[in-house]
Structure 1
């Protein structure tokens, strides 16, 4: 009789444990962490298609101008003198005391609304007109060689020579890219100098 009672009690105990286990769903379910599910979610999202960038070519930078510009204000007279200067591409070698290479510069000068001037200044050496008369020879681009009437400086400077018809000379400069000029040099004869005269900006 005692053996039957023990068996009944044991069976009842086991039945109760099984019911408790079935009634708690959390006891048999393991929660999934967010970290574990993130890769799967990321993998399921398609990346947007990459669109090709438009091919935009940057505009080439212009070559630096061979001209330099400056202004000189006269406050007393209320005028402004404008200058444009260009240095020759080549230099010549003169005898002592001017050895070491001499280049020449073109100067354009305009004082207010008045007179226009164009002249050449030699870095080292002396410009002279000689017995043939005062002139220089010029060639613009592939044009013909032309004689231009010129004058020595009236200020006593022997390194400068002035073009008589400065306005006409400036107009030709505005439409040219290259210039070769032949100038008389003291004890060196007529010497040639080359210029890049493109990109000139000068009032007409």
Structure 2
């Protein structure tokens, strides 16, 4: 078990350390204990403390003028703060949007590196239209591993710890050992899909929605789900222009990703790699 994983005390399976619910048995991990708060002191305790410190309340002094004066001063300083900080507020919003965009770009760069990275010297990568094609050599089996992948046009914003913008990547893979696969990778996220009975989503191909049967990955990666029946869907994706995929996410419900799938060339030939 690595530092990024923890063991479920109920089913003994390993899940990510940030997970708040076990995706194998739905066991909920205990939350951090609440910080104990003390009850406010009673009026008698306050009066006793004031008397001990040498201060006593004068019943002849009214608190209304002091209260009104304080409110006037507070309103004045609030107006000055808003007037002087208008530009800085706009700058903060722009900087925040820039940071989110930069983080999303960094995530997508990492996903593309993961798709094209760890490739040997005999591997090739080429982008044609919206699709990225990769051919790598499986030296042990003497055969090629071929993939075609595309990144979603939109990103969704999930609750912590998966905030910052999540994009999805639709991948078609032909592997000498596993055959044809189609899977979706959404990073960062936690897709709700149990290992023993899979899960379901929705796929809309050029305006025709239907239920999408899914399976988890062999290593139980909660950011990846595989199509159960890839071959009939591949023939329809191949001639499509627009595909929308809806997936279930932990504590965030169903979210949708849109792909511009026009121009897919499959199977990959020497001219398209």
Query: Shorter chain as normaliser: what TM range?
Result: 0.5 to 0.7
The question of 1:152 aligning with 2:216 is answered yes
Q: Which residue of 2 aligns with 1:36?
A: none
Q: Secondary structure at the match of 1:120?
A: strand
1:135 pairs, out of 188, 196, 200, with: 200
1:162 pairs, out of 219, 226, 246, with: 226
Report how far residue 100 of structure 1 moved: 1.0
Separation in structure 2 between the aligned mates of residue 73 and residue 99 of structure 1, nearest angstrom? 36
The question of 1:119 aligning with 2:215 is answered no
Change (3 A) 1:142 1:164: same
The answer for unaligned runs of 5 or more in structure 1 is 1-63
Question: CA offsets per residue over residues 155-199 of structure 1, 9 Å max, x none?
Answer: 121100100011111111111000111111111111011110000
The question of 1:83 aligning with 2:109 is answered no
Give the conservation status (yes or no) of the 8 Å contact 2:172–2:182.
Answer: yes
Q: Which residue of 1 aligns with 2:242?
A: 178
2:167 pairs, out of 91, 103, 114, with: 103
Change (3 A) 1:133 1:75: closer
Q: Which has the higher contact order (CA 8 A, sep 6+)?
A: 1
Separation in structure 1 between the aligned mates of residue 141 and residue 176 of structure 2, nearest angstrom? 10
Separation in structure 1 between the aligned mates of residue 199 and residue 214 of structure 2, nearest angstrom? 5
Compute the TM-score of the two structures, normalised by the length of structure 2: 0.48
Separation in structure 1 between the aligned mates of residue 203 and residue 248 of structure 2, nearest angstrom? 12
Separation in structure 1 between the aligned mates of residue 157 and residue 168 of structure 2, nearest angstrom? 12
Separation in structure 1 between the aligned mates of residue 203 and residue 142 of structure 2, nearest angstrom? 36
Please identify which structure carries the higher helix content.
2
Report how far residue 141 of structure 1 moved: 0.9
- How many residues matched? 139
Compute the TM-score of the two structures, normalised by the length of structure 1: 0.64
Q: Secondary structure at the match of 1:116?
A: strand
The answer for unaligned runs of 5 or more in structure 2 is 1-127, 269-273
Q: Secondary structure at the match of 2:233?
A: helix
* C-alpha RMSD of the superposition: 2.0
Report how far residue 113 of structure 1 moved: 8.8
Give the conservation status (yes or no) of the 8 Å contact 2:204–2:243.
Answer: yes
Separation in structure 1 between the aligned mates of residue 178 and residue 186 of structure 2, nearest angstrom? 26
